[in-house]
A = this chain, B = another copy of it.
């Protein structure tokens, strides 16, 4: 699900979500500029823009979507606080997707020229390397897991992932404000919006979840976890 993400997590267990510890990206913050704020539905970078730096999310939430030449759009990332935006742009020096705020957000820029130019920044480079390596690996396993999940498990996994991220950030892990629309969730999980809707109402009926607008309450973490483990291919 979440490929290019912060590096906080280490990969001891399959589905491990780890305590914040000290974010590896923290080293970069030396180079960071002051925070700035963007209103809801603002565009941070456009697909194809020349790469000028990484962004770290301070608060709020953003989405990244990729437009294909056939016109179809695919939503590839949700960025939460402490996430790094733009790691996928380093390679070809071009932002690979359009990043938009889905609620008022505060970010800071890390100009990449500084990283490129700095002479003896092996430590930072190694951290970036590790960050990217983790991102690549996690993103991959995540998506492959989704591929082998039935849609119910996909939704459950998504909610649990969000829950764990919120906990990492110090919020409650049971009460979530998810500012994205159900359609965006559907697109992100590669399913029809109707299916998402059906699954969510079904989870509510089974007493595992409770939803009110954009407020989600995971009533039964244990049960949700069990559902998220379900896999295709007996």
Chain B CB within 10 A, most for which of A87, A90, A132, A190 = A132
> Would you give the shortest CB distance from A193 to chain B, in whole angstroms?
10
Give per-residue flags for A143-162: 1 if the beta carbon is below 8 A from chain B beta carbons, else 0.
Answer: 11111100000000000000
Known: A3-B136, A87-B136, A92-B10. Is A70-B231 also a contact (CB below 8 A)?
yes
A126 CB-CB contact with B under 8 Å: yes
Size of A's binding interface in residues, CB under 8 A: 54
Kindly report how many copies of this chain are found in the complex they form together.
2
Cβ distance A122 to chain B, nearest Cβ, rounded Å: 7
Contact with B along A183-201 (1 / 0, CB 8 A): 0000000101000000000
CB contact under 8 A between A134 and B11, given known A119-B120, A147-B146, A231-B72: no
Residues of B within 8 A of A135 (CB): 91, 136
Binding site for B on A (CB under 8 A): 3-4, 7, 10-11, 13-14, 66, 68-70, 72, 74, 76, 87-92, 94, 96, 116, 119-122, 125-126, 128-137, 139-141, 143-148, 190, 192, 229, 231-233
A-B CB contact pairs (8 Å), 28 listed = A3-B139, A4-B140, A7-B91, A10-B92, A11-B94, A13-B69, A66-B141, A66-B144, A70-B231, A76-B144, A88-B133, A88-B140, A90-B133, A91-B129, A91-B130, A91-B137, A92-B137, A96-B137, A116-B126, A119-B120, A119-B122, A122-B125, A125-B125, A125-B126, A129-B132, A136-B136, A139-B139, A147-B190
